[in-house]
């Protein structure tokens, strides 16, 4: 009879149960998913189902089963709050939702839904590429760097709140000086907001705001129909360079250098305690992979029978304990009431007190 106690199988089983081996097999599965996904986006993103689509849907279905199992296990261990606070788990659910939306919209009946589906699928691919970084958490070099990046993102959120206020004030002021009484449209809003945004990256074309006739026109019908570009107002031509200079001083010189200083401070703090952060990250990572089954993520469907048996057994055990505890409590209450009724009146008063 073949059992895990035989020497070759026991050696293989012990090696396979190591978290490192599980991570390696998981990484192979992720790489196969990313390869198939990249092939689908680049060469096979048609309107009909293909073998690549079936492969990706099957892989993501197994991934969904794996995450659902993690939720149930965390609830059973009364650690669901820890599961929900983990950013990697949130990322898993977000990418599953975006993939589902992308696949449903990809096979829509109109071009708008097809384009929206492609956007969702591209976003899912980006999230999957980020997700694979979690497997490098065991590295003493890469693990703390992931913590640093996460904390830098938190710093960026607070910084962007201030930056957006400054950018909106510049964009509205700058555009209103050059092109007052513009038509309200999505393209107009885009033209308003892009000036301050692209200036942060050093891209700006001052010649477009200094056009003169006959290269442009003040005729509303002509520039609305796209015959010629609209000429900027004379007041805006003279004042806009100074507004742009003030914005560059505040946004580029002051704010971006402030952001660099914040990043440097965050890096110094985390780097000084890198061993602590890495140990904490490694403990959480090892605990997660110790609880994983011998089946990798892309083969979780084979673990369903065993998982269902464990789930049914746990539910039966939990229900039995609740019923038994309730029965014991009712028995004790009945014995207490019987003892109270059988006692004399003065004894009842003492027992009730």
Enter the tokens of residue 329: 């409590």
Task: Report the number of secondary-structure helices (H) and strands (E) in the chain.
Answer: 14, 2
Exposed, middle or buried: residue 293 (CB in 10 Å: 0-12, 13-18, 19+)?
Answer: middle
Q: Where are the alpha helices (DSSP H) in 3-86?
A: 7-16, 19-43, 51-76, 80-85
Q: Which residues of the chain have pLDDT under 70?
A: 1-20, 47, 205-211, 287-308, 310-311, 324-353
Say how far apart CA 341 and CA 174 lie, in whole Å: 90
Q: State the pLDDT at residue 289.
A: 67
pLDDT tens, residue by residue, 176-187 = 888 888 888 888
Q: In the 8-state DSSP scheme, what is residue 201?
A: T
Burial class (CB in 10 A: 0-12, 13-18, 19+), 292: buried
- The answer to whether residues 233 and 177 touch, using CB atoms and an 8 Å cutoff, is yes
pLDDT at residue 97, as a whole number: 93
Cα separation of 301 and 305, whole Å? Answer: 8
Cβ atoms 118, 106 nearer than 8 A: yes
Per-residue pLDDT tens digits for 87-119 = 888 888 999 999 999 888 887 777 788 888 889
pLDDT score of 13: 60
């Amino acid at each position: 009879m073949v059992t895990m106690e035989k020497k070759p199988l026991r050696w293989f089983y012990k090696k396979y149960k190591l978290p490192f081996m599980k991570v390696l097999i998981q990484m192979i599965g992720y790489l196969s998913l990313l390869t198939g996904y990249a092939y689908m986006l680049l060469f096979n993103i048609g309107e009909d189902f293909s073998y690549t689509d079936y492969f990706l849907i099957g892989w993501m279905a197994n991934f969904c089963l794996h995450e659902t199992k993690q939720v149930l296990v965390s609830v059973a261990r009364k650690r669901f709050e820890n599961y929900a606070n983990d950013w990697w788990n949130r990322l898993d659910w977000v990418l599953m939702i975006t993939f589902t939306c992308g696949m449903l919209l990809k096979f829509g009946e109109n071009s708008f839904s097809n384009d929206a589906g492609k956007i969702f699928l591209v976003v899912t691919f980006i999230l999957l590429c980020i997700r694979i970084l979690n497997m490098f958490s065991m590295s003493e070099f890469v693990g703390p760097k992931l913590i640093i990046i996460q904390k830098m993102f938190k710093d960026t959120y607070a910084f962007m709140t201030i930056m957006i206020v400054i950018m909106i004030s510049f964009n509205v002021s700058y555009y209103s000086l050059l092109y007052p009484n513009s038509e309200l449209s999505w393209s107009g809003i885009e033209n308003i907001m892009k000036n301050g945004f692209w200036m942060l990256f050093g891209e700006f074309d001052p010649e477009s705001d200094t056009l003169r006739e006959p290269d442009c026109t003040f005729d509303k019908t002509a520039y609305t129909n796209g015959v010629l570009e609209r000429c900027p107002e004379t007041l805006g031509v003279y004042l806009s360079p100074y507004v742009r200079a003030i914005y560059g001083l505040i946004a580029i010189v002051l704010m971006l250098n402030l952001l660099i200083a914040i990043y440097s401070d965050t890096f110094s703090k985390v780097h000084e305690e890198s061993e602590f952060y890495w140990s904490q990250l490694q403990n959480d990572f090892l605990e997660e992979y110790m609880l994983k089954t011998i089946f990798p993520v892309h083969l979780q469907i084979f673990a369903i029978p065993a998982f269902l048996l464990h789930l049914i057994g746990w539910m039966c055990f939990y229900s039995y304990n609740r019923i038994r505890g309730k029965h014991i409590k009712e028995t004790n209450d009945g014995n207490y009431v019987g003892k109270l009724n059988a006692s004399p009146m003065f004894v009842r008063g003492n027992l009730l007190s």
